[in-house]
Amino acid sequence: MQRAKRLSIDTTVLDELLTARHSKWNLTVVLHLRHDTKRFSELRREIAVISQKTLTSSLCSLERDGFLLRTSYATIPPRVEYALTDLGKEAFKAFEAFEKFAGAHWQRVVEARQSFDARASEPPFPYLQAGDSH
């Protein structure tokens, strides 16, 4: 039986991609652009919990990394649209897989957190009584 050859990746590259500024929002923005081009105001409305500053930073970061194409139209008022590039569409596949994972397993994560928090609130050595020196 032959083993599948693993692709070796420089951990610096992985760290750089995973720790990009506003990475939490980058995933959200890419997921919102999955089907079509959107204007800033549409994204802001759809992602209601994101601030204007954070959305702007996320869009700039995604454009800088080559995931988004920003198209500006010389109209009054000015119009700017954002769309996924081919690289962004490839990234979307990974983001969509994570979205599906989160949807399928979120309740298990919540239960694990509750279990952990319950254990963490218990004294570490319940057999020792207050005042014991052992």
| C-alpha dihedral sign at 85, 86, 90, 96 | positive
| Structure tokens belonging to residue 32 | 């919102």
pLDDT score, position 39? 95
Band (122; pLDDT cuts 50, 70, 90): confident
Say whether 72 sits in a helix, a strand or coil: strand
pLDDT score, position 55? 94
Q: Is residue 125 part of a domain?
A: no
Q: Is residue 76 part of a domain?
A: yes
| Structure tokens belonging to residue 88 | 């962004």
pLDDT, one tens digit per residue, over 9-64 is: 777 776 776 665 556 888 899 999 999 999 999 999 999 999 999 999 999 999 99
φ/ψ of 71, rounded to 5, equals: -115, 125
Q: Is residue 130 part of a domain?
A: no
What is the span of the domain harbouring residue 15? Answer: 11-120
pTM of the predicted protein model: 0.70
Q: Which of 64, 75, 61, 73 is nearest to 37 (CA)?
A: 73
Number of domains in the chain: 1
Identify the CATH number of the domain in which residue 110 sits.
Answer: 1.10.10.10
User: What is the average pLDDT across 93-111?
Assistant: 91
pLDDT, one tens digit per residue, over 54-90 is: 999 999 999 999 999 999 999 998 899 999 999 999 9
Q: Is residue 134 part of a domain?
A: no
Dist. CA 13–CA 37, nearest whole Å: 29
Band (100; pLDDT cuts 50, 70, 90): very high
Q: Is residue 129 part of a domain?
A: no
pLDDT score, position 127? 62
Q: Is residue 5 part of a domain?
A: no
CB crowding 36-66: b at 16 or more within 10 Å, else e: eebebeebeeebeebeeebbebbbebbeebe
pLDDT score, position 45? 95
